Amino acid sequence: MRAPQIGFPQLVQDFFLQRLISQRGASARTVESYRDAFELLFGYIEKHTGTSPSALQMADLDAPLVLDFLDHLENGRHNSARTRNARLAAIHSFMRYAAVRDPVSLPVTSRVLAIPAKRFDRPVLGYLTREQIAAILAAPDRTTWNGHRDAVMLATTYNTGARVSEITALRVRDVLLERQTAVHLHGKGRKERVIPLWKNTATELRAWLTRIDGTAEAPAFPNRAGEPMSRSGVRDRLDRAVAVAEQHCPSLQGRNISPHTLRHSTAMHLLQSGTDLATIALWLGHSSPETTHQYLEADLAAKEAVLEHLADPGPVPTRFRPDDRLLGFLQGL
């Protein structure tokens, strides 16, 4: 006798509670990312078909609808291909679970799982010079509470190369200032790492912690309400610092600078100081060496230095002239 088909709402709840949280032990950030993907998907379906999330069935989530949703992310919400792929990864994960838990849905799940991730160009990493970093770190007004917090937060971000999510999650207990000065970061995928601090950063953190709630679980960089800062809040405070820094460092004008730019800058400065890629990967919490290798690819100065020690053995170049009209057309494309 064939087992009764599982209701779609129950399947979704089991995916989150059993598969992600209980079985895989997914981090809170992963659960939040998957939750956001499904909220967007269900909202799109309800708007375009009139079917509420609780009334959905597996057959409703066919490949054409998922493709329309992905197009909506890019064209309607103006999400990047990277974000589109992240939403698709969440849907794929659910479909793999559904295929095992509810074999009746295999025709639907197999077609959705066949939707590929979208390839996209990877731009050269943007990073700042040491002079530009120094101008930004000096910009906040340290005589005010907000300015003092911003100055220490930005200095800590650059020192550690932390992701913005790691900075907003930082607690007082994670700041180690006794025998050894370091910061305990809680990274992606439950990966943790301890990053040493420069003396100046440690001194600034000591002074800052005296101005906030010093209990162990309190956020190291709270907002005025005493809660952890949001990602957008950190971006806003960085924008303010950059606006001030531009007055003394004109090269910052017109630059799109995000908290992740500080992270890239940390990595590039470590590389330029002679630090090997393996150490940089540990510093940044990279799980793949390919991720760290992109900093080597972006270091144009290092490439130019190689050329200075290598003479060009090639002859004087001559212009190629095809002897066939069709080949000439192809060469001109």
User: What is the spatial distance between Cα 182 and Cα 152, in angstroms, rounded to a whole number?
Assistant: 14
- Give the residue among 115, 233, 72, 119 at the shortest CA–CA distance from 168: 233
Confidence band for 62, pLDDT divided at 50, 70 and 90: very high
Architecture field, domain 130-307: Orthogonal Bundle (1.10)
Find where tokens 């003479």 sit.
311
pLDDT digit string, tens, across residues 185-194: 988 767 889 9
**Cα-based distances in Å from 67 to 28, 111, 151, 168, 193:** 27, 11, 44, 34, 39
Which position has the higher pLDDT, 35 or 304? 35
Phi (first) and psi of residue 318, to 5 degrees: -120, 150
Query: Which strands make up the sheet holding 181-186, listed edge to edge?
Result: 175-177, 181-186, 192-196
Q: Are 197 and 187 in contact (CB under 8 A)?
A: no
- Look at residue 121 and tell me whether its pLDDT is greater than 80: no
The three-state secondary structure class of 183 is: strand
pLDDT for the residue 120: 72
CB proximity list for 55: less than 8 A, separation 6 or greater: none
Find where tokens 């005025």 sit.
224
pTM, to two decimals: 0.66
**Number of H helices and number of E strands within the chain?**
15, 3
Domain ranges of the chain: 8-113, 130-307
Residue 273: count of CB within 10 angstroms of its CB: 7
- Look at residue 197 and tell me whether its pLDDT is greater than 50: yes
pLDDT digit string, tens, across residues 136-183: 999 999 999 999 999 999 999 999 999 999 999 999 999 999 888 999
The CA R_g of the chain, rounded to the nearest whole Å, is 25
**Structure token digits, residue 2:** 């064939």
pLDDT for the residue 22: 92
What is the dotted CATH code of the domain comprising 8-113?
A: 1.10.150
List residues with catalytic annotation. Answer: 163, 188, 260, 263, 286, 295
The DSSP H or E segment spanning 65 is helix 63-75
User: What is the spatial distance between Cα 13 and Cα 117, in angstroms, rounded to a whole number?
Assistant: 25
The three-state secondary structure class of 238 is: helix
- Look at residue 3 and tell me whether its pLDDT is greater than 70: no
Percentage of residues in the chain with pLDDT exceeding 90?
68
